[in-house]
Every structure is written in structure tokens, then in C-alpha cells.
Amino acid sequence: MNQTSIDLFGRAINFGRDGRVATGERRMATGDGDWQLATFHVESDAEVHADHWEVHPGSDEAVCCLTGALRLYLRPEHAGDDETMVRLTPGTAFVVPRNRWHRIELDEPSDIMSIGLRHDTRQEPVAAR
């Protein structure tokens, strides 16, 4: 077993179906079926790809605000509906349902943690606003 600490902002923690826990590279769209915990320090909307929707077909995703403040948007499920906005502040989280398109915009620099399955994650540009 590794006897050193893990830099959560540099490495991901992967939780295997067989009960193993290991560190690895942070993956945004691919994976081997493991759950991934990844933490990011972000200072701009560009760093969170605010101009793209993202969806995770393999699992729900927990998005946690550790510091800072952000807005998480859920894409409308029906034409003509508005986006749903959830504000996250330090110590709060939101569970994005599986197969629900979402995106993030920052209110200020933030530390964000996400937990979910990355396999088959997709992104697509947000239509012109």
C-alpha cells in the first residue's frame, strides 16, 4: 500500500468494482469502469468548459463546491423550457442525474470535486445564447 499522501489537485482517486482504491490520471471522457473522484482548482469559465454541455451515461455525478461559488446548469429536457440553475457555495453539492446534460459557470475562482463514472462521457457546444 502507498504510504504517501495524494495531491487531490494533481491526481484522481479511482474506486474499482473489486473494492480496490488507486490513484491515477484524471480522465474526463474515458475510463475502465471505475468510479473517479477528481478535484480541480479553476479560475475561469474556460477551465470548466462553460460553453459546452456535458453528459455522463454511465452514472449520476456528484459535483461538490469546496471553495468559491459556481452555478450548475441543467439543459432543458423539452424544447422551449428554460435551463435549470443550481447555485453551489462552499460545502455544498449537487447530484446530476445520469444522462442529464449539464454545464458549469463560475461566480469566482473555485475548488470543485466531482465523483462519477467517466466512461462514454460526451460534450457538445452550447447553442448561441
47 in helix, strand or coil? helix
How many domains are contained in the chain? 1
Q: Is residue 4 part of a domain?
A: no
**What digits encode the pLDDT tens for the residues 75-93?**
999 999 999 999 999 999 9
Average pLDDT across the chain, whole number:
92
Q: Is residue 92 part of a domain?
A: yes
pLDDT at 2 over 70: no
Q: Is residue 3 part of a domain?
A: no
Note the Cα 3 to chain centre separation in Å: 28
Q: Is residue 30 part of a domain?
A: yes
pLDDT at 14 over 60: yes
Q: Is residue 54 part of a domain?
A: yes
**What digits encode the pLDDT tens for the residues 42-74?**
999 999 999 999 999 999 999 999 999 999 999
- The three cell numbers locating residue 99: 444522462
Q: Is residue 113 part of a domain?
A: yes
Predicted confidence band of residue 17 (pLDDT cuts 50, 70, 90): confident
Predicted confidence band of residue 3 (pLDDT cuts 50, 70, 90): confident
Note the Cα 18 to chain centre separation in Å: 23
CATH of the domain at 77: 2.60.120.10
Q: Is residue 119 part of a domain?
A: yes
Q: Is residue 6 part of a domain?
A: no
**Domain span including residue 65:** 12-125
pTM of the predicted protein model: 0.91
Distance CA 49, CA 59 (A): 20
